[in-house]
Structure 1
């Protein structure tokens, strides 16, 4: 799938505002392949390294940025960030690949799909899923949610949370007993199309430790655009 330049501009703007950068700063750095941007954070309790469409930005407390100043982008891996902040008790939040889509093919399920907007159906799915899976998915923190039903059973749910009024951060959760049946693909596609219909750019974050999530994003038609790595102190 292709990704329009105008859509890249929207993604850049959302991340610029999320990180507290000037509008256009990250977009310009991406276009010119400039050295990475740096942003001192007020709280000082975390640091993040983001790569997006060829540009990059490191945000964190001033002492962290000073220590990282002589390191190349390639050195700012999760282990690299942890090493920089080791004496400040650095802990991993994780590293994720970033995917986006501005146009997706219509999904035609092989069987009739019943979708519920009732949070009670999502609660049924949550109760049937391991707590770690629920927490990693972020499925309980969404603005818009869609849960697939099979008879009276909740089998999969997906939805999105708005970022800066521009992006739709997607989340998906499938009943552990019913995975590898295409339900995640179908319900994620429904959520992504709903986000596009609302004028948002769907965003997919796949943990580097979750190849199945990355494969699902690519199957849906999302394009890989970068990564995000975060540690807390």
Structure 2
């Protein structure tokens, strides 16, 4: 399937800016490695890799790390540079975060989901019921969704008065809306993530923002695809041993 060039261009501009030093995705493919101690592609002191639309950019925290990474990743095919298992074989790796799929949607590609009999409520992001949902969902899932960081309203579904699913987005640079979705364990598998996620995406598109869906798990990627998101690439963070 061909990728939407306007989505690829906007997504690349976002991550090029997050690198915090001048760097560009090579138009003909390949991997561009730069030194950027302040990079926001990854945790501080780590190596950040983002592949989008057939090429990749990489930020390294030091000149020494950049040389190691440039040599190691240069020997890998492009589709392998965000593969944690293959990168571990090429580099002395202490820890890896990801890979996470990066997906985006345009207004014309968005496939909204009707709530049907469900009622989607809009509440403040700081509402105590949001923290209750995070406790029920558990630390790992709540951290992945990062609903405590959203700058939009929260779009929620309740059952018996309790919030069992919620979605929202955090405003990122380049007019990007980073979507987060969370469902209580006992309420999963019933389409609630699509319903609340749809409301959050519609709100972002209405504000003229570019919705971004970052997902490590297959279930989350399926939800994004159901809403019309195009998977354009992936992200990996590497701590060099």
TM-score category of the 2 structures, normalised to the smaller one: 0.7 to 0.9
Unmatched tracts of structure 1, length 5 or more? none
Specify the SS of the correspondent of 2:137. coil
Going from structure 1 to structure 2, the CA distance change for 1:75 and 1:6 (only over 3 Å counts) comes to closer
CA distance in 2, matches of 1:81, 1:45: 17
* Aligned equivalent of 2:65: 64
CA distance in 2, matches of 1:212, 1:110: 22
How far is the alpha carbon of 1:176 from its aligned partner? 0.6
How far is the alpha carbon of 1:80 from its aligned partner? 4.1
Of 104, 110, 114, the match for 1:108: 114
- TM-score, normalised via structure 2 length: 0.84
> Does the aligned pair in 2 maintain the 1:49–1:229 contact within 8 Å?
yes
> Does the aligned pair in 2 maintain the 1:10–1:166 contact within 8 Å?
no
1:33 aligned to 2:28?
Answer: yes
When you count helix as a share of all residues, which structure comes out higher?
1
1:200 aligned to 2:209?
Answer: yes
CA distance in 2, matches of 1:176, 1:105: 25
Going from structure 1 to structure 2, the CA distance change for 1:99 and 1:222 (only over 3 Å counts) comes to same
* Aligned equivalent of 2:228: 221
Specify the SS of the correspondent of 1:90. strand
- Which deviates the most, 134-143 or 182-191? 134-143
> Does the aligned pair in 2 maintain the 1:11–1:166 contact within 8 Å?
no
* Aligned equivalent of 1:211: 218
Unmatched tracts of structure 2, length 5 or more? 39-43
Query: How many pairs were matched up?
Result: 224
CA distance in 2, matches of 1:213, 1:33: 30
CA distance in 2, matches of 1:12, 1:78: 21
How far is the alpha carbon of 1:3 from its aligned partner? 6.4
* Aligned equivalent of 2:239: 232
